[in-house]
Structure 1
Amino acid sequence: MTNIALTNIAVLNYGPKLDYPAMFPEVVDRLQVFSQHELKSTAGLARYEYVADNDAVPYAELMIRRLHRERPFTHVITDNEYDLERAARMREDFGLSGQSAASARSFRDKAVMKRVAGRTVATARFARLGTIVELTGFIAEAGYPVVVKPVSQGGSRDIVVLDGEDDLLAFSRRPWREDLMVEEFVEGPMYHVDAVLGPGYRFVASSRYLRSCLGVFSGRNNGSVQLRPESELARRLEDFLDRTLAAFDTPEVSAYHLEVFHTPQDQLVLCEIASRVGGDRIPLITRATYGVDLHGAVLRQSCGLPVEAPSAAVPAEVHGSLCILPPGRPVEAPGRPPFPWVRHYEVNERLEPGAVLHSASHLCFVIVSGSGPEQVEERLLEAEAWLMARLADR
């Protein structure tokens, strides 16, 4: 366990709602936080700085290295996928435990990730791209449709699906990027597996995306539906996670967010795996069903601090979430849907009133409960219909 008297923790934060004083009560005065978003709860922190575009500018790393010379850090932690590599680099330079730079890179670079994971699980055919000729060569072998995306991007950003020659010609008019890869399109619903693994600690939960993650580009609302943990598919997905991780150099403590296709032939095929907590509403529905704080579980263990073991009891109900995309015009969000199974409803307060919304943001989201994924999905769709009908009237 950590010697609290010697503890000095550098934090590269992204999440706008993380409460570090509540998460780390016994060492709150040993936390030095550099945050991409302004945090509401900062009382008692040894240091707190809001840094615009923190994961894109080198200021935080420069300051952490300077501060380390004055008083050595015992831990460097982050909740942000885009900070994993530089946090690992600093740990290596400081001689600290935690994920190595090579391990972080193997999870961050999607082409490297697929090559590594392909040793133990099925993956879609893929290739890193240097020129348009390499793209057309891949298409000639694999056929349409194909997916083109940056190797180190997240959140379905900058992904393009090419369904035919017209799409290829349109894509050829865009500025070429040096960080692209291509992969064959895999049919079937996508599932995500969210886990925190550490010495004597194991938490794994599986969910299905309500719709394709790429649906947001055509204006479709997106969300997740949790599986019953005792279901056969949930067990298959947990086994798939273990087989995937067997191919990687993994740290002693880490969170994982795995995305898996379930093909019409009943095959599980890797889409991606990240060594961090899943985004969107995943932490909220996880806490609602299992009482597990994914961020707290992995960040506290990464600092050698105790974490209560997850309950082995089968949950009475599971949850799902749905985000309503902005309609592209100034509008206020509808009120909370009037259903007893709505467990949480939240409007995106980061959007200015009357602002024209865009596809990268959400207007509001809802979390519902149910006995199983079928009932949860039914209720999500009912809540969606209620919200969209009132949104159309505004």
Structure 2
Amino acid sequence: MTSVRPTTNIAVINYGPRLDYPAMLPELVDKLHVFSHNELQNTEGLAHYEHIEDCESVPYPELMIRRLAGEKPFSHVVTDNEYDLERAARIRADFGISGQSPASALSFRDKLVMKEVAGHTVATARFARLETIVDLTRFIERCAYPVVVKPVKQGGSRDIAVLRGDDDLVAFSRRPWRDDLMAEEFIEGPMYHVDAVLGEGYRFVASSRYLRSCLGVFSGQNNGSVQLHPQDPFAKRLAEFLDRTLEAFDTPEVSAYHLEVFHTPEDGLVLCEIASRIGGDRIPLLTRATYGVDLHTTLLRQLCGLPVGPPPTAPPAAVHGSVSILPQGRPVRAPGRPPFEWVRHYEVNEQLAPGAVTVHSASHLCFVIVCGADTAEVERRLLQAEAWLLANLEEAPYQGS
């Protein structure tokens, strides 16, 4: 890895509420200018720090970074947030800073562009951009129900609709129309995700299966993820699919990737989406538990030209999985830690408002992480822990006005 130059000056647009930049980048603490969506705890010694409400959607961080660059040029502009990839790339391009280009960022952010690019090397669902309701009805005529309608740059399964018949289409037509929609063919089969950090001389790839469909949270199904053992032949097949997918893209020298792929009943692999970022939800916790790899630290240090340890090569002693209990739409208390020796982590969402409802795929009242010798054992234990948690939820007094 390259050494840190005296002129190093780094702009950070942060989303993660628990990221500790001084701990991750101790060599560069006084060179970090951090603009954060969530309030951070350890900010002493940073060159600049601001907590900005709605940081990912207001233009203030970009304005300030550009002004600061006029005083002292930035050597790096980095972000951990998918919604900030394009503006970080735009700033780099304008100031001649190396890293992901605007075209590359767009290809990983706009789901329609993403599928157009990826379709050169891997299978994707049929898709179409929607300008009017007529585009949608024509797509349904061509592909038949069910179809998926979603915004091209949204995340966390937000604002997605699955139309399974004409009643769903009529109900969808009563919603306000958006100018950022696409339709795609519904693909049957379980969904897997592949999470990777790739850099010069560095390769870490891990594969997992979602416990249930990410869209299931909107019909009351708890969400979760089960890791595959890295020596599982299907894990190797998924890693190869990631490589084939990335062959179609303009990729930066260092990046993280979160790939979602369907495994069809015919044993095919079909791309759902790929993002040039670290996976959300519990993925970083699961990765650290199994492999000892902190995805955020590993990525950020390489992006800033700092050394990292080699990726693990020995098979892990165990694999892990997580399941999140959804907000219940009524005031409830999460129970204490499930009484099983194989529970490795349990956490209650203390920020959740009483009576909150599910708004995205990572919404949760609480979540549990369990370990096991293989995917099958982890899944059995997750279902056991989930049943225990649901059976021990307690009704809480309503505190409305």
Which interval holds the TM-score relative to the shorter structure?
Answer: over 0.9
- For residue 104 of structure 1, what is the amino acid of its counterpart? A
Specify the SS of the correspondent of 2:333: coil
CA shift for structure 1 position 41:
1.5
- Contact 1:4/1:27 (CA < 8 Å) preserved in 2? no
Specify the SS of the correspondent of 2:267: coil
Specify the SS of the correspondent of 1:5: coil
Name 1:206's counterpart in structure 2: 207
Name 1:23's counterpart in structure 2: 24
* 1:219 equivalenced with 2:220 (yes/no): yes
Specify the SS of the correspondent of 1:308: coil
Deviations 1:90-111 (A, max 9, x none): 0111111100000000000000
- For residue 371 of structure 2, what is the amino acid of its counterpart? S
In 1: Cα distance, 2:6 partner to 2:253 partner? 23
- For residue 386 of structure 1, what is the amino acid of its counterpart? W
Name 1:313's counterpart in structure 2: 314
- Contact 2:147/2:163 (CA < 8 Å) preserved in 1? yes
- For residue 323 of structure 1, what is the amino acid of its counterpart? S
- For residue 388 of structure 1, what is the amino acid of its counterpart? L
1:377 to 376, 379, 382: 379
CA shift for structure 1 position 356:
1.9
Specify the SS of the correspondent of 2:168: helix
- TM-score, length-scaled by structure 2: 0.97
- For residue 9 of structure 1, what is the amino acid of its counterpart? I
Name 1:347's counterpart in structure 2: 348
Name 2:357's counterpart in structure 1: 358
CA shift for structure 1 position 5:
2.1
Name 2:399's counterpart in structure 1: none
Which range is displaced more, 302-311 or 157-166?
Answer: 302-311
Percent identity of equivalent pairs: 73
- For residue 38 of structure 1, what is the amino acid of its counterpart? E
In 1: Cα distance, 2:17 partner to 2:311 partner? 25
Deviations 1:42-101 (A, max 9, x none): 121111100000010000000000000001111000000000000000011111110000
- Contact 2:347/2:366 (CA < 8 Å) preserved in 1? yes
Which range is displaced more, 356-365 or 341-350?
Answer: 356-365
CA shift for structure 1 position 393:
6.1
In 1: Cα distance, 2:394 partner to 2:178 partner? 38
In 1: Cα distance, 2:394 partner to 2:189 partner? 31
Name 1:10's counterpart in structure 2: 11
Name 2:191's counterpart in structure 1: 190
Name 1:294's counterpart in structure 2: 295
CA shift for structure 1 position 350:
1.7
CA shift for structure 1 position 392:
5.7
- Contact 2:208/2:225 (CA < 8 Å) preserved in 1? yes
In 2: Cα distance, 1:335 partner to 1:357 partner? 20
Specify the SS of the correspondent of 1:6: coil
Structure 1: which 4+ aligned runs deviate by more than 4 Å? none
Name 1:85's counterpart in structure 2: 86
Specify the SS of the correspondent of 1:135: helix
- For residue 158 of structure 1, what is the amino acid of its counterpart? D
CA shift for structure 1 position 2:
3.9
Alignment gaps of 5+ in structure 2:
397-401
- Contact 1:323/1:362 (CA < 8 Å) preserved in 2? yes
- Contact 1:196/1:253 (CA < 8 Å) preserved in 2? yes
Name 1:390's counterpart in structure 2: 392
In 2: Cα distance, 1:29 partner to 1:348 partner? 33
CA shift for structure 1 position 351:
2.1
Deviations 1:244-291 (A, max 9, x none): 000000000000000000000000000000000000000000000001
Q: How does 1:270-281 map to 2 (within 5 A)?
A: 270-281=271-282
- Contact 2:333/2:394 (CA < 8 Å) preserved in 1? no
Deviations 1:335-356 (A, max 9, x none): 100101000001112225xx22
* 1:111 equivalenced with 2:112 (yes/no): yes
Cα separation, partners in 2 of 1:184 and 1:342, compared to 1, 3 Å: same
- For residue 142 of structure 1, what is the amino acid of its counterpart? C
* 1:161 equivalenced with 2:162 (yes/no): yes
Name 2:370's counterpart in structure 1: 368
- For residue 18 of structure 1, what is the amino acid of its counterpart? L
